[in-house]
Structure 1
Amino acid sequence: MNLTTTSPLIAFTVLLLVTLTLPPIFERLRLPGLIGLLVAGVFLGPDGVGLLSADSEVMILLSDVGKIYLMFVAGLEIDLAEFRKTRDRSLFFGAATFAIPMVVGTIIGYSFGMELNPAVLVGSLMASHTLLGYPIVSRLGVTRSESVTVTVGATIFTDIAALLVLAICISIHAGDFSASSLVGQLGALAIYTAIVLFGFDWAGKAYFRRTGNDEGNQFLFVLLAVFIAALGAQIINVDRIVGAFLVGLAINDVLGHSPVEEKVVFVGSTLFIPFFFVGMGLLLNVSGLIATFSTDLFLTLAIVIGLILSKFLAAYITKLRYRYSWQEMGTMWSLSMPQVAATLAAALAGVQAGLLPTSVFNVIIVLMLATSVLGPILTARYARDLPIPKRDPEEDTWEPEEFWDIPATEADLDIAHPFQIVIPVSNPNTQRYLIEFGSLLARHESGVVLPLAIAKSQAHMDEPWLDLALNQSRRLLRRAIEACQEFDVEAHPLVRIDDDIANGISRVAREQEANLIVMGWGLRQGLQARLFGNIIDSVFWSSHCPVAMVRLMDEPINFRRILVPVKVVTPQAVHPVRLAQLIGDMNQATVTLLHVCDRQTPAEAVESFEAELAETIKPFRSICTLEIQTVRDANVAQRILKTARDYDLVVLRSMRRRTVGGLAVSDVTTEVIGGLNCSIILFGEPLM
């Protein structure tokens, strides 16, 4: 008997080990991490060492949860705001890149002896796509290019349409086909879709409004919504992944870019979705997969070549319709080529329903491997020639000198507020450098420092523990005042009793109309911090003003060389540049703006980027020496780390990257932070 059938703990431990180790190894080999999970499933399954079984209850449960979670995240990560900007063009390309592969796939399946219903399902499997190359366009800084936003928007159409076809095909396969039953199924599906898209959106907004900052219950609400929608899909004889995808779209606006959204995606990307791909590997029959290249070789070639050509034709028609360039067309073609998330989930659903034979499932695996490798390669080839989009002056209005100011209300128009910096103090060993840094900024801006000490509230205000906390807070504030006086800066100390430290900081900053929050920052980023967040994360998400997370290895007055990596030129991206200039002005330092681009980036694109960056920072009044340096390197993080060896301070912009295709993508900022030995300022702004 398999050990995992008697000890689910063994299976869970093995899955955790595989998820932790294999995806990074395959990504270093320039292969998607999910391929490593599939390989692990094959190795651990019946055709390998036999340690895991796809028929065990634990694997069935985890695979089902992972499949549902995969489609939920796929719907959640679709940027509806970008879709609305290019709605018409996205719908046109979505219709083309769905209909053409759908027809081609149906013809191929029917030509190879399939009945009409399975052939149509094969066509729908080819019609959807996964944006596996999105991290590449993000790295190249062309995510705002119209060709990219149109393709992202088209994903909504193709995934929904493909899943609806899957639902109809399985429904037809499960019962006697008739026109009335088809109409009834479509009617039930339409009602169900409306309930999920509008009902869950309304319920989510109402619940989040009532619960405020209760992230734990909000997280549970999201999970409950996902599985209620999945069960509802089963009730109307529709596959559960349809409900999961629809509920992802429904609560997209509810979650937005909130901490709850980050935790939801993190849990799925770290645990359940990788388990699903390992479970799929367990279902793969190696001998059958090898036989596919002999017995079903022509079917495999027809589907792979048909997919590539049909996606190309859809992109070409869109190019002619909207007069896109060849680079834009190539980008749209390559982004819409990979068949991973929706395709694999739908193929597995078709096999489990008895609609597709295992041989066709093996062909789909080959299709996934071919397109997941070829698609990103072509994306890198075409996207690097796309021009970096210019800022829309009407969309990005900003004042260069007062980038951290908040909009004034009518009551504030007659009140002159000095520049105010809130500095929470809690650690006597690190607060000296924090106060010194804040004091230098405040003196430069003729402002004031607001040292803040938070005492954790108790059930009764006469608790001895509260007295101790208040006394400790006052001692910390006295030291802060003394440090501010050394720099001849006015200090207004504040003590706050609050049941939540992060909320206390954000509330005080809002009450005092602060312009900036400066916080000390450690490097403890373990599982608990990533899953449940920490004080810095919470302040970043909830504050009304920018937050500077500071790790100082030396006194701020000793900073002589400052490095600022710049990825793209946007109003938000140059705010850290302004902060670095202010620090440079205080010390008469040299500020280097480092841009790391792809090795194949044309010289014209580099010159255009440097010219735009120079023009953007030109309005800043600065006395420090400013340099712009562009280097070509495939590994952005390692290049930044190598350059930073000669600098005293690195100023980074805090960004939160969303996962693509259900698997976590390595973050450049995280890698840089982990390797830096000098002082760091991580500059984050509230999401508008």
Structure 2
Amino acid sequence: MGSALHSLQGEPIVSFMILLAVILIVPLAFERIRLPGIVGLLAAGVALGPSGLQVFSNESETMQLLSDIGLVYLMFVAGLEVDIDQFFRTRNKSIGFGTFTFLVPLITGTIVGRSFGFDWNASILIGSLFASHTLLAYPIVSRLGVVGNEAVTVTIGATIFTDIGALLVLAVCIGIHAGNFTLVKLLTLLVSLALYTVVVLVGFDRAGREFFRRTGDEEGNQFLFVLLAVFLAAVGAQLIGVEKIVGAFLSGLAVNRVLGESPVKEKVIFIGSVLFIPIFFIDMGLLIRIPAFVQSLTTPQLLSLTIAIVVGLMLSKLGAALLAKLVYRYNWQEMMVMWSLSLPQVAATLAATLVGYRAGLLTESVLNSVIVLMLVTATLGPILTARFAAELTTLDTALVEQAQPEEWIDSEERPLVIVPIYNPRTEGNLLELAAMIVRQAGGRIAPLAIALSQPRMDVPKLDAAIAQKQGLLTSALEVSRNLDVFAEPILRIDDNIAQGISRASREQNASLVVVGWGRRTSFQARLFGNVIDSVVWASHCPVAVTRLLDSPMNLSRLLVPIENLTQQSIAVLKFAQVLAAANHGQITLLHICDRTTSPSKMAWIRSQLSLLAKKITLTSDFIIQIIPDDDVAKAIVQASKSYDLVILRFSRRHTSGGGLAVSDITAQATQKMTCSVVMLGEPQRTPSLVWSTEKPHRQEPFPPTSR
């Protein structure tokens, strides 16, 4: 037994098994003590590396391979998550702020480098580390509903400029450091880089569009195409003499529009965020030698370098935001949001630091200082963003003023609600809910059954599936007659249930899809998504995801949490009004605010919610409830115990540039609720929602102190 264990110690598969265990356990443990998961991965690298248990070594070929894949994946995801369309909408100001937040930190970092005795090449590289930023706090501004604010949009767009600029500086500095770097070689490198950039951005984009058009819904082949594009671009970058992370970032920009918000994009990001990117952070921890790291925080000269890098970065980013405020006439709150959004240094900064350190251009003291910088800015940036983003345009009540009480379904047509039927035990409640929705507008419902196709259409297995689905539709038709609503049953043969639902709803021009709850219960569901996820991704119309514990006609006490005043919040309120009118129910609007919110501010929030409810519902049969609490999900769960039904928005969140998942309040709350739940999922593109009012020119947060 002992000899067997000894023989396994050198096996790469054992190391890989340990890495998987670390990735699974350590981030969760650190998040429980309210520390970022990245910190846990770095700490695990230190503990298992040369300075600790010596389980891993950064000299290992296996570790180097996996870390390099993680490094490439990290920069690819950073490029993939940049909103290209948003950049073009405000490209002039995005380029302007991008120039400010690139040059000011670049100059500041160069001065810091020179002040501590680094040569010009290393100093400029240190400056380039200051120049980029990671949109770590994007999920926060998205949740607060302020992505439409120009200052936020400009900051997001500036990411393209800063990251590309920083990577170009890195490429030149590494080339100069390699030696024998003449002016001719510099010009050759710049020309090669320019041509390479055009080939990747234009060529990969066109090739991707053509490939995706030809392959249709073959997600497996599309996934492989994206991976091939990433590593092909990385190898191409090395062939022209620049770092592979430059190619990885450009490939992310190139396939950005091709992927859009498709399920393939989620799978690509998922693979990186749960496997390769965490391994990269563990490898970063392997580079940290505890004595040297402690020395960098205790030795006066090295501590001074760390402080200079951290403070210099923060002040330079603040200076860039101040310049944008003066030039574009933003207010102080918008300036502070631009500063806090551009503060975190994770993806491009860590990648460039590792490249510079491996090339011998940056010292170990700089590496340790940058890790401290990452920890400080990754923690402080989101906190400041949450603080200042909630205060944007506190006096703007345009959405309340423009809200109209129109029907949420166009009464000039016969609206159609698709109800996929696959579980006889839940189909009755789903059909009853759909009937309540369409009855007021004289609409109709369409029970939909999907029979999975076979290679041959005459096989007995397909005949049996069709017969079973026809039985479900017959039962659904009988239920519809009892509900006194017109039903048009649809039987569809398709090779994928989710695609069948989405295609049928598009073909029938459905107004809404009502589906039953689907919990994720397996690793396969996490990796490939479940049916409901795919329907929400692909649907052209809203999707109501339901978990009904009782007949919808018995759900009279409705709770509608409204976190911020956005157009989607109004849509949810209108949906709730339809259900309340159908069963003479009562609506409670719930808002969770900070514990520090003043009584006067809470009174203002209450007045705005009351005004909105009166304009939407045209009735006074509603309750306004405002609860001060720092844990939004917990407060919603606690409040839900007194209600029959909770209506929430269903939103999907990608990872940030760092590749780590961000928890969603909706997901946290629904896991613990014991009452019925309806979640409204919106199409990924911006549709003309059948229940929405005219969209205002910009979306603002509702309460100035909301979270």
Q: Which residue of 2 aligns with 1:412?
A: none
Look up the equivalent residue of 1:401 and give its one-letter code: E
Question: CA offset at residue 262 of structure 1?
Answer: 1.4
Q: Which residue of 2 aligns with 1:382?
A: 388
Alignment map for 1:169-180 (pairs within 5 Å): 169-180=173-184
2:531 is aligned with 1:535: yes
Q: Which residue of 2 aligns with 1:328?
A: 334
Residues 276 and 553 from structure 1, CA distance in 2 versus in 1: closer, same or farther, beyond 3 angstroms? same
Instruction: Tell which deviates more after alignment, 602-611 or 543-552.
Output: 602-611
Q: Which residue of 1 aligns with 2:689?
A: none
* Aligned partner (choices 452, 464, 484) of residue 448 of structure 2: 452
Report the 3-state secondary structure (helix = DSSP H, G, I; strand = E; otherwise coil) of the residue aligned with 2:569: coil
Q: Which residue of 1 aligns with 2:683?
A: 686
Superposition RMSD in Å: 2.5
2:207 is aligned with 1:199: no
Question: CA offset at residue 180 of structure 1?
Answer: 0.6
Q: Give unmatched runs, 5+ long, in structure 1.
A: 407-415
Q: Which residue of 2 aligns with 1:225?
A: 229
Instruction: Tell which deviates more after alignment, 25-34 or 145-154.
Output: 25-34
Q: Give unmatched runs, 5+ long, in structure 2.
A: 686-707
Residues 381 and 540 from structure 1, CA distance in 2 versus in 1: closer, same or farther, beyond 3 angstroms? closer
Q: Which residue of 1 aligns with 2:124?
A: 120
Alignment map for 1:615-654 (pairs within 5 Å): 618-620=614-616, 625-654=621-650
CA distance in 1, matches of 2:488, 2:370: 66
Cα offsets for 1:418-462 (capped at 9, x unmatched) = 222221212112212222222232323322221222222223333
| Conserved 8 A contact 1:140-1:598 | no
Q: Which residue of 1 aligns with 2:419?
A: 423
Look up the equivalent residue of 1:100 and give its one-letter code: V
Cα offsets for 1:352-402 (capped at 9, x unmatched) = 112112222112222222322333333344333323696989xx9998635
2:221 is aligned with 1:244: no
Alignment map for 1:464-543 (pairs within 5 Å): 464-543=460-539
CA distance in 1, matches of 2:603, 2:90: 29
| Conserved 8 A contact 2:174-2:356 | yes
Instruction: Tell which deviates more after alignment, 25-34 or 362-371.
Output: 25-34
Look up the equivalent residue of 2:664 and give its one-letter code: D
Q: Which residue of 2 aligns with 1:60?
A: 64
Q: Which residue of 2 aligns with 1:547?
A: 543
Cα offsets for 1:220-240 (capped at 9, x unmatched) = 111111111111111111111
Cα offsets for 1:479-510 (capped at 9, x unmatched) = 21221122211222222222222222222223
Question: CA offset at residue 3 of structure 1?
Answer: 8.0
CA distance in 2, matches of 1:525, 1:598: 34
Residues 389 and 362 from structure 1, CA distance in 2 versus in 1: closer, same or farther, beyond 3 angstroms? farther
Residues 251 and 459 from structure 1, CA distance in 2 versus in 1: closer, same or farther, beyond 3 angstroms? closer
Q: Which residue of 1 aligns with 2:701?
A: none
Look up the equivalent residue of 1:110 and give its one-letter code: R
Question: CA offset at residue 561 of structure 1?
Answer: 0.9
Report the 3-state secondary structure (helix = DSSP H, G, I; strand = E; otherwise coil) of the residue aligned with 2:591: strand
Q: Which residue of 2 aligns with 1:663?
A: 660
2:282 is aligned with 1:311: no
CA distance in 2, matches of 1:111, 1:570: 49
Residues 327 and 439 from structure 1, CA distance in 2 versus in 1: closer, same or farther, beyond 3 angstroms? closer
Look up the equivalent residue of 1:42 and give its one-letter code: V
2:346 is aligned with 1:367: no
Report the 3-state secondary structure (helix = DSSP H, G, I; strand = E; otherwise coil) of the residue aligned with 2:567: coil
Cα offsets for 1:33-74 (capped at 9, x unmatched) = 211111111111111112222222221111111111111111
* Aligned partner (choices 330, 341, 363) of residue 357 of structure 1: 363
Instruction: Tell which deviates more after alignment, 655-664 or 507-516.
Output: 507-516
CA distance in 1, matches of 2:116, 2:330: 36
Q: Which residue of 2 aligns with 1:300?
A: 306
* Aligned partner (choices 7, 12, 27) of residue 11 of structure 2: 7
Residues 580 and 127 from structure 1, CA distance in 2 versus in 1: closer, same or farther, beyond 3 angstroms? same
Q: Which residue of 1 aligns with 2:693?
A: none
2:587 is aligned with 1:581: no
Report the 3-state secondary structure (helix = DSSP H, G, I; strand = E; otherwise coil) of the residue aligned with 2:502: helix
Instruction: Tell which deviates more after alignment, 345-354 or 427-436.
Output: 427-436
CA distance in 2, matches of 1:389, 1:354: 53
Question: CA offset at residue 643 of structure 1?
Answer: 1.0
2:602 is aligned with 1:596: no
| Conserved 8 A contact 1:437-1:556 | yes
CA distance in 2, matches of 1:4, 1:610: 65
CA distance in 2, matches of 1:219, 1:669: 29
Report the 3-state secondary structure (helix = DSSP H, G, I; strand = E; otherwise coil) of the residue aligned with 1:490: coil
CA distance in 1, matches of 2:320, 2:7: 50
| Conserved 8 A contact 1:481-1:493 | yes
Look up the equivalent residue of 1:155 and give its one-letter code: T
Residues 383 and 619 from structure 1, CA distance in 2 versus in 1: closer, same or farther, beyond 3 angstroms? closer
2:350 is aligned with 1:344: yes
CA distance in 2, matches of 1:76, 1:23: 24
Instruction: Tell which deviates more after alignment, 154-163 or 131-140.
Output: 131-140
CA distance in 1, matches of 2:612, 2:211: 42
Look up the equivalent residue of 1:6 and give its one-letter code: G
Residues 58 and 402 from structure 1, CA distance in 2 versus in 1: closer, same or farther, beyond 3 angstroms? farther
Report the 3-state secondary structure (helix = DSSP H, G, I; strand = E; otherwise coil) of the residue aligned with 1:545: coil
Cα offsets for 1:67-95 (capped at 9, x unmatched) = 11111111111122222233222222211
* Aligned partner (choices 436, 439, 448) of residue 440 of structure 1: 436
TM-score norm. by structure 1 comes to: 0.93
Cα offsets for 1:465-491 (capped at 9, x unmatched) = 222222222221222122112221122
Report the 3-state secondary structure (helix = DSSP H, G, I; strand = E; otherwise coil) of the residue aligned with 2:242: coil
| Conserved 8 A contact 1:398-1:571 | no
Q: Which residue of 2 aligns with 1:256?
A: 260
CA distance in 1, matches of 2:528, 2:239: 34
Q: Which residue of 1 aligns with 2:290?
A: 286
How many residues matched? 677
TM-score norm. by structure 2 comes to: 0.90
Report the 3-state secondary structure (helix = DSSP H, G, I; strand = E; otherwise coil) of the residue aligned with 2:88: helix
Question: CA offset at residue 641 of structure 1?
Answer: 0.9
2:181 is aligned with 1:184: no
Look up the equivalent residue of 1:480 and give its one-letter code: A
Look up the equivalent residue of 2:157 and give its one-letter code: G
Residues 131 and 5 from structure 1, CA distance in 2 versus in 1: closer, same or farther, beyond 3 angstroms? farther
Q: Which residue of 1 aligns with 2:111?
A: 107
Report the 3-state secondary structure (helix = DSSP H, G, I; strand = E; otherwise coil) of the residue aligned with 1:61: helix
CA distance in 1, matches of 2:366, 2:570: 51
